[in-house]
Amino acid sequence: MALPVISSHLEDDFNDPLEQRLGRPIQRLPWGSLDIPDNTEILLASPIGKGGQGRTLPQPANWPKHIKWIQLVSSGIDLFPAWFLRSARISTARGVAAHSIAEYCLAAMLSVSKDLPNLWVSGPEQWTGRRTASVYGSTIGLLGLGAIGQALAHKALGLGAQVVALRQSKAPAPLAGVRLVGSVGELMALSDHLVLVAPSTPSTYRIIDAAAWACAKPGLHLVNVARGELVDDEALLAALASGQAGFATLDTTAPEPLPAGHPFYSHGQIKLSPHTSALSWLTRKQLVDKFITNLARYESGQALLDELP
């Protein structure tokens, strides 16, 4: 029986170890390409198109009907058009980047608390001690409590922080020590650091708006590792000017990248990173592991891990 042909949108640093683990070659495609070889049965799919534009791409007339399973390389599905997600069995990469993103969030919170890199000195004239804040004893708010939120909550609790969360589900908190709240306003009023880890949906669109900032604890640090659409940019700038917001660490914006001259680039209380919190060698390894596990399940006729209904 012939083995299913696998095509991949990913880079060589993923494809090479995958081939070594499988003991057979895979077909390598440009990132986001819809030009899929006719013999492809399984597709490892990056977001298609450029940036968020892929979600509105029309279905090509010759879109392959022979693809039976698509393994997304992201946990979110909002960057894919609806027809793409109906093309075949779909499984997501939920959880593979959770620890890497959680570490990014902790690094951002520690950096703001310790005022890094401004704390470092380069000469004796700067040798003046000053007090800094601590993550220990602070309150970390989570908008969303999926795989990333749970990984971050576990690490934050280990550092002695309090964790409060707002989630869509009415189920109890999955971790002891995490307190659930009932509204965005309550979450912002309690939090020293607010981390956005919720998906982009109509209900979360610009959820961090002027009304939410009016409830915020003064000086709140916003960390966005979800989607830029969750934040009202003008409201964030106004909150920074008024002191309701103390700092913002943004790994994602809308659009990506922001146009030249956007005030976020030069703002003294905003740090931007180019959507890199999920990118690590650990994430790559865990994605390889997950795909190989799912491939075994696919070939034996079982349900896939994190398969969409």
Strand-pairing partners, residue 248, are: 222, 270
Say whether 256 is catalytic. Answer: yes
Task: Kindly report, residue by residue over 166-187, the tens digit of the pLDDT.
Answer: 999 888 999 999 999 999 999 9
Rounded Cα–Cα distance for residues 165 and 145 (Å): 7
The residue written with tokens 């058009």 in the block is 81
Catalytic choice (256, 262, 267, 307):
256
Apex 112 CA angle, 108 and 115, nearest 5? 130
Rounded Cα–Cα distance for residues 67 and 40 (Å): 6
pLDDT at 49: 66
The residue among 139 and 2 whose pLDDT is bigger is: 139
Tally of helices (H runs) and strands (E runs) in the chain: 9, 12
All residues at 6 or more sequence positions from 145 whose CB lies less than 8 Å from its CB, including other chains: 153, 165, 166, 167, 169, 173, 174, 178, 197
Say whether 89 is catalytic. Answer: no
- Rounded to an integer, what is the distance from CA 199 to the centroid of its chain? 9
Catalytic choice (55, 89, 275, 297):
275
Residue 104: what are its φ and ψ, rounded to 5°?
Answer: -60, -45
Task: Kindly report, residue by residue over 116-159, the tens digit of the pLDDT.
Answer: 999 999 999 999 999 999 999 999 999 999 999 999 999 999 99
Task: Kindly report, residue by residue over 3-42, the tens digit of the pLDDT.
Answer: 899 999 999 999 999 999 999 999 999 999 999 999 999 9
CB atoms within 10 A of CB 70: 20
Say whether 227 is catalytic. Answer: yes
Catalytic choice (9, 227, 229, 284):
227
* List of domains in the chain: 6-96+280-299 (3.40.50.720), 98-272 (3.40.50.720)
Helix pair angle (98-113, 281-299), 10° resolution = 160
